[in-house]
Structure 1
């Protein structure tokens, strides 16, 4: 099975796959079949059928290679939070489960690097389809979006001790000040971009926003759990008792403790059903709207860099680059400056 690897996304040999299965499920386990799943620019994902194991149908996900360079260094192709995000995923789903939000069932997660120099996890396969599947009727979609809105509202009530990224050991890497988490995220992106001469000066300008307007961002004092990659493809639905329901909210590995308005779906492509289910109004104050614009700038800039230089999707990179510059112009016209 040969395929080209897009830098980060790397396949493994059948021998290695068998070894990881045996290590997790025991030597009596037989691999009946496996397939590489498409999608996902970051992790490499397989679906595996097993015999003589506690689960018959599982998903194996592998993070990119751990590499030799210290996490967070400018030459590391990954962001520091990306280095720890797969091992944080079980922690995030535990938060979900306690709050009654449907989550994937993680069987095992290993970041020891002892068998393979990559973090990997086995999860139970969920027979389902994504919320953006064309077979879902408009009426069902609205109802499911309403459900998603309600679950998101519950998620946004899960509080953390500080702002930042949950870690595999249950701690949070960040700060008590929201402005500092935003600044360090912007600064790390700017550093990576400047290494490759991408959008010169823009990253520094964005990072500076969070220092100059520190007071604006530090008005947000309660860190809550946001998914940070919430869109229809990351919501699985299945039929239960004759109607479609959300089976799991997946790919929670980019989650962080943040301002609830940092959740992009609140201000972008969400449906009326979602907002009804969410049941909490946007912060329409001048400060709230200014923060929202700053989040969109940071997210757009991060996406520009990632699509251009991390996952080699230059068309998307160009789109985000233009969006970033337009949003920055909008920021300069705000009264707060």
Structure 2
């Protein structure tokens, strides 16, 4: 399916692309070539080759167009955190850099909406391939997963002042209580699903989990940075010192300050990843219950997003079934 099947993914006229280049790189800059990159359903991404500029190979990413409806309302196609997440990306990568995690180089980010009604950013292109590239051997992949585990552990040492989503000005939009952030996220997803008449009653069940078990989630008191979208396509690798190494962890725009175990990648069965991460998951009944609740919320969110936001019904169906299966597991936990 083409990336253009998503209603959020929206190209810009070449004239606007040239205009944005000239604003940020100077009027003497020449666009030698540009191409629309495939694979994204949310942001629209171009690779641009430049002449007479301080950078010769750059990426331009544009967030979806801004709507007229109030942010966070059921009729808004975007979630409230999605409205501000690209503007927060430079802040996230600064955290990475300070901690020694390889990150993209952001050249410019404009969230003003004054030139185009979208947040956009220019980044330096990184010659690399994604971790899911078919040319990577199993041996190399094991070593890269070990490296990814080590970087994820470093990321989970970065503490925030509260739970929630980082903002472009360095603040965090959320709460001192982890349960409140989870409840609010579940509630917003439920509102949007109800408006679309999607999975009726399920969102209410999920929201109730976070309301009834407030104390369970508030046992977590340390908000740390989690990537929230850490899968192979968002890990770039390149050859350095004669072997493949991680070049950058990208697409950090969904990052939030959360329980470290909210990071979905921690549920991977990769031994190499966990050896690199070197910090066992909470083995208690409470820890296991929290992780199950996180999986339910994440799966429900993904079901709605794939079905109604980015028009990927096949994936939506998989997440829908997974949500229902996980909810059944939760009922077993409740009854025991």
TM superposition score normalised by structure 1:
0.98
Is 1:79 aligned to residue 85 of structure 2? no
Give the Cα separation in 2 of the matches to 1:146 and 1:4: 35
Is 1:158 aligned to residue 158 of structure 2? yes
Paired position in structure 1 for 2:52: 52
Paired position in structure 2 for 1:309: 308
Q: How far does residue 272 in structure 1 lie from its aligned partner after superposition?
A: 1.0
Q: CA RMSD in A?
A: 1.3
Q: How far does residue 284 in structure 1 lie from its aligned partner after superposition?
A: 1.0
Q: Output one character per residue of 1:50-105: Cα deviation in whole Å (capped at 9) or x when no partner.
A: 01111000000000001211211111000000000000000000000000000000
Paired position in structure 1 for 2:63: 63
User: Residue 55 of structure 1: SS of its match in structure 2?
Assistant: coil
Paired position in structure 2 for 1:225: 225
User: Residue 143 of structure 2: SS of its match in structure 1?
Assistant: helix
Paired position in structure 2 for 1:318: 317
1:139-150 alignment runs, 5 A limit: 139-150=139-150
Paired position in structure 1 for 2:118: 118
Cα pair 1:5 1:11 within 8 Å, conserved: no
- 5+ residue gaps, structure 1, are none
Cα pair 2:42 2:64 within 8 Å, conserved: yes
Aligned positions, number: 335
Q: How far does residue 271 in structure 1 lie from its aligned partner after superposition?
A: 1.3
Give the Cα separation in 2 of the matches to 1:96 and 1:142: 23
Give the Cα separation in 2 of the matches to 1:171 and 1:327: 34
Paired position in structure 2 for 1:275: 274
Distance 1:39 1:114, change over 3 A: same
User: Residue 333 of structure 2: SS of its match in structure 1?
Assistant: coil
Give the Cα separation in 2 of the matches to 1:13 and 1:274: 42
Give the Cα separation in 2 of the matches to 1:277 and 1:211: 35
Give the Cα separation in 2 of the matches to 1:145 and 1:322: 29
User: Residue 333 of structure 1: SS of its match in structure 2?
Assistant: helix
Cα pair 1:230 1:264 within 8 Å, conserved: yes
User: Residue 18 of structure 1: SS of its match in structure 2?
Assistant: helix
Following TM superposition, the consecutive aligned residue runs of length 4 or more in structure 1 with deviations greater than 4 angstroms are none
Q: Output one character per residue of 1:279-322: Cα deviation in whole Å (capped at 9) or x when no partner.
A: 00011100000000000000000011001100111111111111
Paired position in structure 1 for 2:254: 254
Cα pair 1:131 1:236 within 8 Å, conserved: yes
Paired position in structure 2 for 1:331: 330
Paired position in structure 2 for 1:205: 205
Give the Cα separation in 2 of the matches to 1:336 and 1:161: 36
Give the Cα separation in 1 of the matches to 2:84 and 2:200: 28
Cα pair 2:163 2:172 within 8 Å, conserved: yes
Distance 1:4 1:230, change over 3 A: closer
TM superposition score normalised by structure 2:
0.98
Paired position in structure 1 for 2:293: 294
User: Residue 184 of structure 2: SS of its match in structure 1?
Assistant: helix
Give the Cα separation in 1 of the matches to 2:5 and 2:102: 32
Q: Output one character per residue of 1:14-42: Cα deviation in whole Å (capped at 9) or x when no partner.
A: 00000000011111110000000000110
Q: How far does residue 6 in structure 1 lie from its aligned partner after superposition?
A: 2.3
Q: How far does residue 5 in structure 1 lie from its aligned partner after superposition?
A: 5.5
